[in-house]
Amino acid sequence: MRIPSFALCLAISLAAGSSVAFWGWTASAQDQACRYYKVQAGSLNISKEPRGDAVFIDVLDSGEVVCVTRTEKAGDREWVYIAQKYPKPNERAAVEGWTNPRLLQEMSPAEAAVATGAPPPAPAPAIAAAPADDTLRFTQPIPEGPFPVQGQSIEQLARGIPQFPPIEGLPEEVWKKNCQSCHQWDRQALCEQGASYAKNPRSALRHPHPYGGAYKAALMRWAKSGCQ
Distance between CA atoms of residues 210 and 61, nearest Å: 25
In Å, what is the CA distance from 74 to each residue of 26, 99, 218? 32, 11, 21
Domain assignment present for 3? no
Q: What is the CATH number of the domain that holds 100?
A: 2.30.30.40
Q: Tell whether omega for the bond before 165 is within 30 degrees of 0, i.e. cis.
A: no
Domain-terminating residue out of 66, 90, 116: 116
Residues with Cβ < 8 Å from 137, sequence gap 6 or more?
A: 153, 222, 228
Domains identified in the chain, total number: 2
Q: Report DSSP state, residue 193.
A: H
34, 108: one domain: yes
Distance between CA atoms of residues 30 and 84, nearest Å: 10
Distance between CA atoms of residues 45 and 86, nearest Å: 17
Q: What are phi and psi of 201, to 5 degrees?
A: -60, -40
Domain-terminating residue out of 116, 143, 167: 116
Q: What is the pLDDT of residues 110-162, one digit of tens each?
A: 888 888 887 655 555 665 554 545 788 888 998 887 777 888 888 888 887 77
57, 104: one domain: yes
For residue 4, the model assigns a pLDDT of 46
pTM: 0.45
Assess contact for 211 and 149: CB atoms under 8 A. Answer: yes
Domain assignment present for 60? yes
Domain assignment present for 4? no
109, 184: one domain: no
Q: H or E stretch including 218?
A: helix 213-224
Distance between CA atoms of residues 212 and 166, nearest Å: 10
Q: Whose CA is closest to 82, among 91, 90, 64?
A: 64
Around Cβ 115, how many Cβ atoms within 10 Å?
Answer: 18
Domain assignment present for 124? no
Domain assignment present for 197? yes
Residues with Cβ < 8 Å from 69, sequence gap 6 or more?
A: 32, 33, 34, 35, 81, 82, 83
Assess contact for 99 and 46: CB atoms under 8 A. Answer: yes
Around Cβ 208, how many Cβ atoms within 10 Å?
Answer: 14
For residue 14, the model assigns a pLDDT of 39
Positions in the chain whose pLDDT score sits under 50: 1-31, 130, 132
107, 174: one domain: no
Distance between CA atoms of residues 67 and 87, nearest Å: 12
Domain assignment present for 12? no
Coil/strand/helix, residue 83: strand
Assess contact for 34 and 121: CB atoms under 8 A. Answer: yes
Domain-terminating residue out of 116, 145, 177: 116
Domain assignment present for 127? no
Domain assignment present for 204? yes
Assess contact for 150 and 182: CB atoms under 8 A. Answer: no
Domain interval for residue 208: 154-224
